[in-house]
Amino acid sequence: MRKYEFWFVVGSQFLYGPETLAIVDARAKEMAAELTKVLPYPLVYKVTAKTNREITDVVKEANYRDECAGIITWCHTFSPSKMWIDGLRDLQKPWLHFATQYNKEIPNDEIDMDFMNLNQAAHGDREHGFIGARLRKPRKIVAGYWQDAKVHKRIGDWMKAAVGVAVSKDMKVMRFGDNMREVAVTEGDKVETQIKLGWQVNTWAVGDLVKEMNKVTEAEIDALVAEYEKSYDIATDNTAAIRYQAKEEIAMKKMLDREGCRAFSNTFQDLYGMEQLPGLASQHLMAQGYGYGGEGDWKVSAMTAILKAMGEGGNGASGFMEDYTYHLVEGQEYSLGAHMLEVCPSLAAGKPRIETHHLGIGMNEKDPARLVFEGKAGKGIVVSLIDMGGRLRLIVQDIEAVKPILPMPNLPVARVMWRAMPDLTTGVECWITAGGAHHTVLSYDVSAEMMRDWARMMDIEFVHITKDTTPEKLEEELLVKDLIWKLK
């Protein structure tokens, strides 16, 4: 995983004289150092820019340097914005405009015109904001005192979303076989997606994976099984099935890493030469940060990897999910989400168990091993990226996950139970109105605001279903957006 950082660019001009500029420079340095202690990624102070040239220089460098995941600008003093036009026009990295000021309070006794000339972010940031609006440049605006914890959280979340942009632009997806036959929502324009989101989506033969599996040694399998035993409870005597999953995982990981892919998809309809659909294998790869999509769903696979990278510590609690069935008892309305096998253990409330069960669907000759667990309770989101033909739509719905209200002792897969907002049935109506897929990424630590930031930076349509959404309002919103995105 790449190490990312963000650059702090402070706007000013020569009008104030060298003493004022020296103070601005020292304070910017101090602020970047202090903010680095509380933000998820380092904030590196680059320059107090006084000229068009200084701005275009720092932008060129930011565009060129892979480790720079975005820039944060602020105007301690007034910085005339015509000198920002060339730089901002060429900026290819995410941009956050931080409207803050060095002092928290207006100092009653000491305030004079010198103080006013040094501390004029209130109008400096308005001049800076105008040129962002005038250029129609996508940017995040965060206003507030720079030592306020709420401000740190918002900047930190934006940083994580910007890392999601960097990961997206670097995304390679390995597809083992094609999509499940006849399914519409898992399809999409791969060329358009590469132009827009940067994803390289390509296919490898299942036969190549089988060849790679045949090269895996018993010693490699022993080592991985020992790792499984450390992380999970073994609740099966079928060690052959666990060893077979280990062999699949090792082979897939080698192929993914060799090609620089951080996401993959497969389908139960094409397991030619394999005894088991990868279950435990895919789940343990997801736990390491790889994205996965079932039935050839490369869009949800890449999105899973991106949300994971946007989460806590660069590999958060996010996983591939599928809406399966509803509990429609009044007052206890919930969705039950699961998958055939492949639910990421980062969603688990407790220690997952390895079990083996018969899997009737697909080409499985033998019973696949898989992790079985209950999902965590807590607030979260589900995310779906769909291809509307000519554009991509990102749908995010707020959810409240609960401890599953039934033990379901015969259900042989991991399960998560949640209530979609605004309530289960209205939420379903909204989701279906927007065209959201049955496959989603479910996340406990990526917020809807982070996904909104990500969609703005990627320049794609964003739809958010919240506790306040109604099907009527949503229908109107989608009609308007349909027109806007046709014009764009």
Which positions touch Mn ion (CB under 5 A)? 294-295, 322
Nearer to Mn ion (CB atom), residue 279 or residue 294: 294
Q: What distances in angstroms separate CA 287 from CA 133, 315, 339, 368, one per listed residue?
A: 41, 8, 16, 18
Nearer to Mn ion (CB atom), residue 295 or residue 445: 295
Nearer to Mn ion (CB atom), residue 322 or residue 374: 322
Please return the burial class of 481, using the count of CB atoms within 10 Å of its CB with bins 0-12, 13-18 and 19+.
Answer: middle
Tell me how far apart the alpha carbons of residues 20 and 117 are, in angstroms, rounded to a whole number: 9
Least Å distance, CB 474 to Mn ion, is: 25
Least Å distance, CB 414 to Mn ion, is: 14
Q: What distances in angstroms separate CA 377 from CA 24, 173, 350, 419, 481, one per listed residue?
A: 47, 31, 11, 11, 34
Nearer to Mn ion (CB atom), residue 412 or residue 422: 412
| Cβ-proximal residue to Mn ion, closest one | 294
Tokens matching residue 128: 């800076």
Nearer to Mn ion (CB atom), residue 55 or residue 344: 344
Task: Residue 441: name the closest of 373, 326, 343 by CA.
Answer: 343
How many CB atoms lie under 10 A from the CB of residue 215? 11
Q: Is residue 352 reached through a cis peptide bond, with omega within 30 degrees of 0 on the bond before it?
A: no
Least Å distance, CB 341 to Mn ion, is: 10
Contact call for residues 399 and 380 (beta carbons, < 8 A): yes
Least Å distance, CB 439 to Mn ion, is: 6
> What phi and psi values does residue 483 have, to the nearest 5 degrees?
-65, -45
Strand order in the sheet with 233-234: 233-234, 353-356, 369-372
> What phi and psi values does residue 174 have, to the nearest 5 degrees?
-100, 120
Least Å distance, CB 183 to Mn ion, is: 9
Least Å distance, CB 438 to Mn ion, is: 7
Give alpha helix (H) positions in 108-217: 113-118, 121-134, 149-169, 190-197, 206-214
Nearer to Mn ion (CB atom), residue 175 or residue 391: 175
Instruction: Give pairs for 190-197: CB < 8 Å, separation 24+.
Output: 190/298, 192/387, 192/390, 192/392, 193/299, 193/387, 193/392, 196/392, 196/458, 196/459, 196/460, 197/168, 197/169, 197/171, 197/302, 197/392, 197/458, 197/460
Please return the burial class of 389, using the count of CB atoms within 10 Å of its CB with bins 0-12, 13-18 and 19+.
Answer: exposed
Nearer to Mn ion (CB atom), residue 308 or residue 339: 339
Query: Residues 6 or more apart from 446 whose CB is under 8 A from it?
Result: 160, 307, 310, 311, 316, 318, 381, 383
**262 CB-side CA count, 13 A:** 21
Nearer to Mn ion (CB atom), residue 294 or residue 337: 294
Nearer to Mn ion (CB atom), residue 322 or residue 398: 322
Least Å distance, CB 295 to Mn ion, is: 5
Q: Which residue's structure tokens are 């930011």?
A: 62
Nearer to Mn ion (CB atom), residue 119 or residue 265: 265
Strand order in the sheet with 43-49: 43-49, 5-11, 68-74, 95-99, 140-143
Least Å distance, CB 122 to Mn ion, is: 52
Least Å distance, CB 294 to Mn ion, is: 4
Least Å distance, CB 293 to Mn ion, is: 8
Nearer to Mn ion (CB atom), residue 361 or residue 487: 361
Nearer to Mn ion (CB atom), residue 270 or residue 322: 322
Tell me how far apart the alpha carbons of residues 165 and 163 are, in angstroms, rounded to a whole number: 5
